Amino acid sequence: MDSTSGYASEVESLFERYETRDAAAVHAPWYEFFPTPPARILDIGAGTGRDAAWLVSLGHSILAVEPVDALRMRAAKLHPEPQITWLADILPDLGQTRAKGETFDMVLMHAVWMHLTADERITGMANVASLMDTGSRLLMSQRHGPIPKGRRMFDVTGEETISLAAKHGLINLFHERAESIQAENRAKKIEWTKLVFEKT
Ligand SMILES: C[S@@+](CC[C@H](N)C(=O)[O-])C[C@H]1O[C@@H](n2cnc3c(N)ncnc32)[C@H](O)[C@@H]1O
């Protein structure tokens, strides 16, 4: 299995599930840390593009990175806003993204980090930090609880990520572990850690 295992075969149901979630509600707990529009945002593991489209509605422009072709191609059709650029790329290397030579005001990795192995997390954090300027923010969430069949996931603590981020000059501004906002996932005891970092 690799980090994207299980996604390509579930595209239909993922669009139904992810696109019906209200992005504003998903991001309410850390919205105070979002930049003032217009900002340049990198959304890594952008999935169906729900968050990218919402961020555009707020006045931002987005580089939406998604490695799974079937997700990315359908997402680009569903969300054709010119302020979203779709890119096939993958953590931990993010080679295509880094090749653009751009830095971002904010990096979003929503529900992605727990798919990476410990080694991938080490390389991935260095590459993500290299895409940020002083004052840029990284918002990331990681999942805890039973692992869905066919997916590869690891239970990564907030403390581990805070310590890894510190090695790249990313200071922690926000750390919250809370139960899922979805009733069906709460029943399965799924929790999420949300973390915000700022580059010094
Ligand atoms: C749980 S979904 C979250 C999608 C979206 N961020 C959201 O919140 O709706 C995880 C996403 O991460 C992507 N992903 C998995 N491994 C990845 C990797 N190594 N690099 C970048 N994205 C990855 C998957 O393809 C999938 O789109």
Ligand 1 neighbours by CB, cut-off 6 Å: 3-4, 7, 18, 44-47, 50-51, 66-68, 71, 90-91, 110-112, 115
Identify the domain containing residue 97 by its residue range.
8-199
148 within domain boundaries: yes
Q: What is the mean pLDDT of the chain?
A: 97
Measure the CA–CA gap between 112 and 57, rounded to whole angstroms: 23
pLDDT at 32: 98
Q: How confident is the model at residue 105 (pLDDT cuts 50, 70, 90)?
A: very high
102 within domain boundaries: yes
1 within domain boundaries: no
Q: Mean pLDDT over residues 104-132, rounded?
A: 98
Nearest to 46 by CA among 108, 3, 105: 108
2 within domain boundaries: no
Contact indicator for 137, 106 with CB cutoff of 8 Å: yes
Contact indicator for 72, 96 with CB cutoff of 8 Å: no
pLDDT at 192: 97
Contact indicator for 195, 158 with CB cutoff of 8 Å: yes
Number of folded domains in the chain?
1
Question: Ligand 1: distance of its center to the CA of 161 in Å?
Answer: 17
pLDDT at 150: 96
Q: Dig out the tokens for 67 from the structure.
A: 């490695």
Which residue's CA is minimally distant from atom 19 of ligand 1? Answer: 91
Nearest atom (ligand 1) to Cα of 115: 16
Question: Ligand 1: distance of its center to the CA of 24 in Å?
Answer: 19
Quick: pLDDT tens for 55-66: 999 999 999 999
Q: How confident is the model at residue 200 (pLDDT cuts 50, 70, 90)?
A: very high
Q: Which of 1, 5, 10, 112 to mutate to test the pocket of ligand 1 (most atoms within 8 A of CB)?
A: 112
Quick: pLDDT tens for 140-161: 999 999 999 999 999 999 999 9
pLDDT at 186: 94
